Every structure is written in structure tokens, then in C-alpha cells.
Amino acid sequence: MAELSRRTMLISGSALGALGALGVASPAQAGTLADGWTWPASGSIAGSGTGADPRWVWDDEADPLLASLFERGLIPEVNRLLYDWNRNDQPLPAGLPEDLRAFMEQARQLPSWADPANLAAGAGFHALKGNYIVVLTIVGAGMLATSIPKEARAVYYSAGGADLKDRVAKTNILAYAVRPANAWAAGGTAVVEAVKTRLVHAAVRHLLQSSPYWTGPIPISQEDMLVTWHTLATYSMRGMRDWGVRISSSESVGYLQSLQVMGHMLGIRDEFMPATWETSYTQSDIVLPRNMGPTREGVELNAILRTMLAEMTSGPGGIDKPLVNAFSRYLTGNQVADWNGIPREPLWDPVVRTAWPLLVKFREGLIGLPLVPATAWLLDEMIKKWSTYYLTRGAETKIVIPTGNRPS
């Protein structure tokens, strides 16, 4: 594979690759690429829909509730009460406002279409292919997020933008929570973390509207959430397929099911949630190109992310930052990398393009060890350290509702 997004563009019509092919280089063009919502709801989990455009739909249940909690000055007390609510089977703490309790009791219920066997297969896939999933859903998706103007600006100007290391850890809590076999069952934590994240999203919508730096529509619309979902789900499956990762039919269905349930629990409507990988690819090719482009905030956030990744390996400076730059460019392609301000690395760019596919082939049992270049093991060690950091940090971090925006 010469370059993930380029190859996917040429072979499978990926939205990421299509960015360059279509000349979609400015976020200002995003609203002109389609007059309305053209993705058919027949391809959704619900099988039908209202015809609503997800760009103008938010969270009808959580948003007014959080606005009311802010008006009543209850957010600090809610955070205190929810701090030790950790397990799916744990009762909600006493003392919560009754309207919040009613919402959370409903929001913590798994959708009727959730299949325990598929969720078990998804958990098994997470355990088996965890390193690839970390590379794509945490590192790659993190790089994509900073090239999504609305997402980059929402992160930057919300409270989390002031401490990106803590913000990244909180964002990746679900990556930790959905891995165990009991992720969505009693004793697991995925339901709790998803419901808390849904509350956080509603809080950010409320707070950013009062920020002098936020312009445009209310943030984190249904389409915004779908865009983020595709940078995790569709992007990761396309990447693994492109790399030749061995994925059985049951693993493919199970992995999708785990991500569908996560999206539902975060508040994405079933009428917008793709039912299959094929309908997911179609939707991704609609929503990603029209929502991507460069911003000053995205460039700044991406530089911080790459510094964090380099420091996780063996410290600042040295070989790590150029290698992180090269790997980030490889994962996202030249267009997105240029939007993100990722410098080209003449030495490491071709090394990564050659070494990573061979390392994957070796891990998948497709080639023998003598064909793997020594430089591939630098990448292997780097990925292991990233996986360890993100998964252990996810276990230690708490999601709390923000009480304000980024300090001026």
C-alpha cells in the first residue's frame, strides 16, 4: 500500500481519497456540496427515516436538560454525584435531579437491535486486532479530527482545548471501555462512559454558544457526530481491509455492531446509523468530504497531538518526532497531512510506506520474518507503547461535565 487514502481512493472510492480527487480543499465550500440529505434511510439501522437533514438535528432530549441544569446551577453537584458511577449495572446515585435521573435511566438502555452474540464477536475482534484498532481509531482518527473544522474548533474553544492531554484521555475512555467481553453487560463500563459523554456533548453545545470565539450553527450536530463516527468506524475498517488484515464475517459484523451500539448510546439517531459496512461506506463518502479542511486551530491541535505521541515513545526530540510525522502522513494521506501542517520527512516517509505494510503482512502470517525490514520494528515498538498508554490511561480517567469554555 503506497498511501492509505490514495490507494483507497483509487480502489474503493474512499471519502478520504476523494478529497483530493474532488478538489475539496476549503471548509467554506462544505455547505455547497449538497443541497440536502441524500443518504437513503433505508440503509440505516431503523430502515426508514423522517427525511431530516442531520446537519440541522442535535439531541432533542439531552440538550434542553443540560441547559436547564446549567440555569439551576446544578452541574458541580451532578459531577460530584456521578463521579463514582462507574459500572453498567450500578444504580444511579441518590440525589440526582429527577429530570436527569429519568433521562439517564432511559439513555442507559441498550437498543432493541443490539445482539449479544455480535457484541461478543466484536469484543473478541478488539482483543485480537487491538494494535491495528489503536493505530486507526486513536492515532489516525485523531489526525483526521484536526482536519474537520467544526470538530477542531469545538475542541479548541471548549474547556478540553486548554489541556489536550487530558482531553485526549477522556475522548479515548470509550476505546478502553468497549474492549472487554462484558463491555455493554453487567460489570462493564461502556454504557456509563457513553451516557456521560452524551451529557458532555450537550453541555458543550450549550456552553460554546456563549463563547465569543464560536461562530456558525450549534456544534456537535447529528452530522458532526456521524463524521466523527466514520473517522472511527468506516476509516478503521477500510484501513484494515486495505492492509490485508484477516477479518472473518462474524468479526466484521461484530466490530460494526460494537460501533453501532456506541453511536446509538452517544445519541446518534437510528435513522442515521448505517446498518451495514456497505451503507456505511456510502454515507462516509457523503459526509466526510464536505466537512473536512484546514483551520488554524486544527494545525495547533495536531502539533500538540504529534508531540504527545512522540513523548510516549522515548521522550521529546530525536528520532521520534520525525517518525511520528511520517506515520501520521501515511495514515491520513498528503492532503489531510498538509491541512494539519504535518511536515514531510524525506528520510522517514518512504521508510514508513514500505515497512508498515510488510509488518502487517508478517503479523497476519502472509510473509516470513526475513522479508520484514529492521525499521519495521521501530514502528512495532511505537505502536505497542501507544496502545499501552491509551488503554491504561483510559482506565484511570473520569469523564465530567464541563462547567465553562476554554479560558481566554
CA distance readout (Å), 190 to 62, 101, 173, 179, 265: 18, 18, 9, 9, 9
In whole angstroms, give the CA distance from residue 33 to residue 327.
31
Q: Does 36 fall in a domain?
A: no
How confident is the model at residue 203, as a pLDDT? 98
Answer whether 180's CB lies under 8 Å from 275's CB. Answer: no
Domain-located, residue 55? no
Asked whether 136 and 245 are in contact (CB, 8 A), the reply is: no
Alpha carbon distance 316, 364 (integer Å): 32
Q: How far apart are CA 117 and CA 250, in angstroms?
A: 9
Q: What is the pLDDT of residues 221-253, one digit of tens each?
A: 999 999 999 999 999 999 999 999 999 999 999
Q: Give yes or no for a contact between 191 and 265, defined as CB atoms under 8 angstroms apart.
A: yes
Q: Residue 14's pLDDT is what?
A: 43
Q: Is residue 218 part of a domain?
A: yes
Domain assignment present for residue 222? The answer is yes
Q: How many helices (H) and strands (E) does the chain have?
A: 20, 0
Cβ atoms of 262 and 194 closer than 8 Å: yes
pLDDT of residue 393: 61
Cβ–Cβ < 8 Å for 294, 339? yes
- Domain, as residue range, for 368: 60-399
Residue 185 within any structural domain of the chain: yes
The three grid cell numbers given for residue 245, joined into one nine-digit string: 488484515
Which secondary structure element, helix H or strand E, spans residue 233, and what is its range? helix 222-243
Residue 174, domain member (yes or no): yes
285 located within any domain = yes
What is the pTM assigned to this prediction?
0.91
Using 70 as the pLDDT threshold, list the residues of the chain that sit under it.
1-35, 315-318, 391-396
Q: Is residue 273, in this structure, part of any structural domain at all? A: yes
Please name the amino acid found at residue 218.
I
Over residues 94-108, the pLDDT tens digits come to 999 999 999 999 999
Count CB atoms within 10 A of the CB of residue 15. 29
**Number of domains comprising the chain:** 1
User: How many other CB atoms sit within 10 Å of the CB of residue 3?
Assistant: 20
| Cα–Cα distance for residue pair 61/168, rounded to 1 Å | 26
